Structure 1
């Protein structure tokens, strides 16, 4: 069993080395080994092998300790986002039917209210479990030593930017092969202290495990703030980290940035959402480190495509397209046409992936699994193309594509054009229903200042820069575009708003929106 072997090997080779830390605790490898076994014992008292163990907590080292404990007890960790509403948490509990749960103070209170019969473990108590009388008495068992590489060890839920979240079932191979791929691509070692900034309920938890696999210390940030990030880099001499584009923007706007000591920072990997090249370049200059683009998908094992700091692809063939790099070791990627054939260079199609780190499937959803993985190939649902140098470029998710009278409108291209206006801070283009054309594009505009919105200038700008069928039929000012906790744009609320305002006449001339 990979996670158990990793824990045993690190405990043996570097028992006093730092494995995990946050603002509350610093955990050596020997302490992690002890905590994980004690927590596995406690889980075994409350559940049976194969049960799901819900982890409802803000970021803290105990969440990662619980992942090892679930592997040791042959149970399945299910990290949940504490930002979810009670209804969403309740729905997920109904789906996974957990045997027990580990939670922080806030999570315990919610679970006691939502599932009063569910056995609970407090995250605050993990450090004391190893010395508990129940542990010393030998009560309870755990059987993870008999688990195989193909046995489920975690269920990660998709971010649900396009619909209801689905539970991605990950086995030991999923994490082992992802760690090998990351090591071959990035080449980190035990000196590369890693700062984890994203919620541990997100698929980026695989990156934290990638660094633990090489013995590097992993620091868990409770919650990302620019000041907190800069202080953590200084205090713990962080060398590697992962950030989403929204975090990069916040850092660049942070007044403490020029006075911060970031000499230790060597590499920032960024992903989770498309990052404009100018933002990545500006961030690299300001932070004084290399910038690596990664494209990840939970169903594919986490990071699957990568663009290194020293790679310089050609200019985008389609405005707004983002270069995601090349397939990482162990991954095969191809662009496929609607007919299922390999696309020619620069021909738009759907990105498909094959590799040894693919998910086992969606939890209790065989129909969705069969639709997503066909003949060993994972259909990512992302539209893109491949250039003649082998670089893969992402246009949009297929579900975001706008079909206007039989012609494809890529929101990323239109959004790119809109953002070239100096007063447009952000733009999002979504489909609205149309009686005659099926769909028309509607643009939501977040101006740099409330009074800057100028619809006439937007119309003229689109006439100069976009074909007629790509031009939005309506421009709607919005104070802030909706995003999830990782900065991914939430298009569905915008689509609902656009549908309520959509004109049926395709020749509609936009008037000033209300």
Structure 2
């Protein structure tokens, strides 16, 4: 099995040159043209002195050129660093500094997020016009396509940032071999491999593993991608029908919005075979509506950036079983993908039997290489070949995994990871807040939203509008608490640790 992503793209460019590679509102490229442009990107990177394991930042919305940057970097061994454009300028600068990026590719609309050090880097505008910064076409002018390097399975394909309990971003090193392997693992496990010529819809952002990996998997198998810069439920519905989309990935909130589009019965969704989703379960009533409207199969994936993407799948067959006889199965994440092991351990590291809750550990060939320059964090997360996920759950007698809690207290809101420690640090800087804790609470639209549980300083209580105004320049919008509550004192254990479980029970 080939372990170099670029080998797959080169093969399709030779054997299926006229097949759709990707299309957005600006570019429409077949495989031959896309492969040439990717190799031109590699040539320009080399001409600017960038080479193996140098880092460049990508701060942009979905697009053909955005996707090609990841492939172009791979042709010369440069490591692209995917940056979340929903972060603040301070957060972006922190990631760029940690990654030691030597150049930055960004959309014009995000130029105001760049600090002076980032503005001083060699920059290319990937979408829109920006005075004094070359656009992609200008930057690539007259570049002769490079002969791609032969990457090894262990070479880093992309560096993606994730945060832990401290809120400090860590760059997960995802390899060529991990991504290629995970593509086959997913296809075999949910049973819907992409066929050459199939079309997928990219609406999840490329700074998320699911958005980037899912799109690269489609390209590995010779499929084409219709790309939306932003999520728009009307546009999503129209594209599925008009372009004959076969497969797509979404979070449940996107499907909820899609069901609100007027006159859904006038659209033809017969091409659609699979919708994969993650981030939170689908409620039985929502699944029933989605099946009635879209008429396709569904698969739920559970994964982490540290595992490239896919760890388990609740397969289409599992979904049918849930609708017919066992609705509680929809609260499961399914069973591990092929060549992947799971186990549940207790507080002392002992493996627990079926039905008991503990930390979820994963072992398989799709795991990250480690964290960028975080040896201690790598050692505590990857032990003896096992990824310590930080999630708590159980495996039942049939082998289905159920997430019960998050050891790291992470909140998933609308598919975005939110880390309470990061929010709490910001809240405690407010002069009217004496103590703070952040927990996730259920929300009909977003699955979960952050709730700030506060202790007032000298009886001075804030309202949600004031709290939002205080946080907006310090936290990305999706991280800002959507609800707040006041208590006289936060519950703590004898060592002073806040008892989040007590708060979750109190504010459920």
Which secondary structure does the structure 2 equivalent of 1:169 belong to? strand
With over 3 angstroms needed to count, the CA separation of the structure-2 counterparts of 1:285 and 1:259, relative to structure 1, is same
SS in 1 for 2:10: helix
1:440/1:214 CA distance change after superposition, 3 Å: closer
Deviation at 1:159, TM superposition (A): 6.4
Cα distance between partner residues in 1 of 2:333 and 2:56:
34
Q: Offset of 1:358 from its aligned partner?
A: 0.5
Offset, 1:24: 1.6
Question: CA 1:19 to 1:113, structure 2 compared with 1: closer, same or farther past 3 Å?
Answer: same
The 5-angstrom pairing of residues 24-173 of structure 1 reads 24-46=26-48, 47-108=50-111, 110-111=113-114, 113-124=116-127, 125-127=135-137, 132-133=141-142, 135-136=143-144, 145-158=149-162, 163-173=167-177
For residue 430 of structure 2, what is the aligned residue in structure 1? none
Unaligned runs of 5+ in 2: 128-134, 413-417, 425-435, 446-462, 469-475, 494-501
Q: Are 2:183 and 1:183 equivalent residues in the alignment?
A: no
CA contact (8 A) 1:183 1:210 kept: no
Q: Can you list the C-alpha shifts for 1:94-116, whole angstroms capped at 9, x where unaligned?
A: 11111112222224564485523
TM-score for both structures, normalised by structure 1: 0.76
Q: CA deviation at 1:250?
A: 1.1
Distance of 2:384 and 2:478 partners within structure 1: 31
Change (3 A) 1:478 1:187: farther
* SS of alignment partner, residue 219 of structure 1: strand
- The match for 2:407 among 393, 398, 412 is 398
In structure 1, the partner of 2:370 is 361
**1:161, 1:492 within 8 Å by CA — same for their partners in 2?**
no
Whole-angstrom CA distance in 1 between matches of 2:136 and 2:52: 20
Matched, 1:7 2:9: yes
Q: Which residue of 2 aligns with 1:383?
A: 392
Q: Is residue 2:327 matched to residue 1:322?
A: no
99 and 249 in structure 1: CA distance in 2 versus 1, 3 angstrom threshold: same
Alignment deviations for residues 22-80 of structure 1 (CA, whole Å, 9 cap, x no partner): 12211100011100010111111222321101111111111110111110121001111
Determine the C-alpha separation between the residues in 2 that align with 1:94 and 1:129: 24
Deviation at 1:126, TM superposition (A): 3.6
Secondary structure at 1:362 match in 2: coil
| Partners of 2:154 and 2:175 within 8 A in 1 | yes
Report the number of matched residues. Answer: 436
In structure 2, the residue matched to 1:263 is 270
Residue number in structure 2 paired with 1:436 = none
Report deviation, 1:91.
0.8
Secondary structure (helix, strand or coil) at the match of 1:158 reads: strand
Inter-partner Cα distance in structure 1 for 2:137 and 2:31: 13
Distance 1:270 1:328 in 2: 15
Query: Could you tell me how far 1:203 is from its partner in structure 2?
Result: 0.8
Match of 2:199 in 1: 193
Question: Is contact 1:444-1:478 (8 Å) kept?
Answer: no
**Structure 1 residues 279 and 35, CA gap change in structure 2 (3 angstroms):** same
Greater CA drift, 158-167 or 46-55: 158-167
Matched, 1:370 2:379: yes
The residue number in structure 2 matching 1:336 is 345
- Match of 2:169, SS state, is coil
* Deviation sequence 1:451-479 (CA, Å, 0-9, x none): xxxxxxxxxxxxxxxxxxxxxxxxxx989
Whether 1:174 and 2:174 are equivalent positions in the alignment is: no
Which of these two proteins has the greater Rg computed from alpha carbons? 1
Q: 1:296-340: per-residue Cα shift (whole Å, max 9, x none)?
A: 1110120110011122368588xx992000001121112222222
Q: Which runs of 5+ in 1 are unaligned?
A: 402-410, 413-427, 433-438, 449-476, 483-487
Q: CA deviation at 1:129?
A: 5.8
Q: Secondary structure at the match of 2:37?
A: helix
Q: 1:176 to 1:226 in 2, by over 3 A?
A: same
Distance of 1:367 and 1:492 partners within structure 2:
30
Is 1:43–1:100's contact at 8 Å kept on the other side of the alignment?
Answer: no
Q: Secondary structure at the match of 1:361?
A: coil
2:28 equivalent to 1:22: no
Q: TM-score under structure 2 normalisation?
A: 0.77
Partner of 1:202: 208
Pair 1:287–1:501, CA change in 2 (3 A): farther
Larger mean CA deviation between 308-317 and 380-389 belongs to 308-317
